[in-house]
Amino acid sequence: MSNFLFKSLFQQHVKSMFSKSNAIIMRHYKDTALTEPIPFSKDFLFRQMFDPVSCTYTYLLADINDKTTILIDPVMEWAERDKTVILELGLMLKYAINTHMHADHITGTGRLKCLLPGCQSMISRSSGAKADIFLNPGDKICFGRHNLRVLSTPGHTEGCVSYVCDEQGIAFTGDALLIRGCGRTDFQGGSAEVLYKSVHSQIFTLPLNYRLYPAHDYSGRTVTTVAEEKAFNPRLTKSLNEFVHIMNNLNLPYPKMIDKAVPANKVCGLYEIQDAQKQ
């Protein structure tokens, strides 16, 4: 065989191997829940912070150009940490926002308003909690040139909302949808049927590659996607009837913090501070 013929056959072989492996990768990619994330804009700051006691995630988002900052689901005991991050980075906290009235920790919004005057608290109107600004479904929360869209996702509590940032392809789902799980539905006006409908109509209809950031994770995971939860969520991939049956038979213990956290969160976390000041 001439050198030329050998070279050309070899090149054809490599080419066909490459296209075969590409086809395999593409097939594999299509058959799995893997999706291509939308990269963050250069002027978008994202920080995920953690409270190891209640396994709560607090999210700091900011416009890097004009420094306007928001916090989602801050925790009272970590308000000083959040303040330090904000001041060190030269940011300005505009809003401290909750996804719902939490039962497992006291919100940091009240304390942050004291630590960083000028910041305003936000929660959904249907939450039943106090705040400076009440949110309704469809509202936009603006910080710098960025914004979050408010989705109504009740079921864990009556007033749960999720926040979506379409430009960055991310959503903050609170306790409505957790990674491979969901929040319990047996307190605070919860309803398994309502939660199922919320997740299927509001979150599972988002683009498959949107990254989902929950309010908690108890196994060290930090993020998921719409595609992953649609494929692997052990509860929400079931039928409505099966889901309701699962949720109504979890036999979970009474929430440890609920009697302390809910009254405090009804008044934006200030209950605890007022109480402490009296002593």
**Positions in the binding site for Fe ion (CB under 5 A):** 102, 175
Which residue number, 54 or 225, has a Cβ lying nearer to Fe ion? 54
Of 63 and 73, CB closest to Fe ion: 73
N- to C-terminal Cα separation, the chain: 95
User: Between residues 144 and 159, which has the closer beta carbon with respect to Fe ion?
Assistant: 159
Closest contact distance (angstroms) between CB of 175 and Fe ion is 4
Closest CB to Fe ion among 86 and 194?
194
What's the CA dihedral at 75, 76, 81, 87 to 10 degrees? Answer: 100
Nearest-approach distance from CB 92 to Fe ion, in angstroms: 28
CB of 62 within 8 A of CB of 70?
A: yes
CB of 211 to Fe ion, least distance (A): 20
Q: Which long-range contacts (CB under 8 A, 24 or more apart) does 248-255 make?
A: 248/186, 248/192, 250/184, 250/186, 252/184, 252/186, 255/103, 255/104, 255/187
Which class for 239: exposed (0-12), middle (13-18), buried (19 or more C-beta within 10 A)? exposed
Task: Tell me the closest approach of the beta carbon of residue 259 to Fe ion, in angstroms.
Answer: 15
**Shortest distance, CB of residue 70 to Fe ion, whole angstroms?**
19
Q: Which is nearer to Fe ion, 102 or 211 (CB)?
A: 102
Nearest-CB residue for Fe ion: 175
Tell me the C-alpha to C-alpha distance, in Å, between residue 265 and each of 72, 131, 157, 182. 14, 10, 13, 21
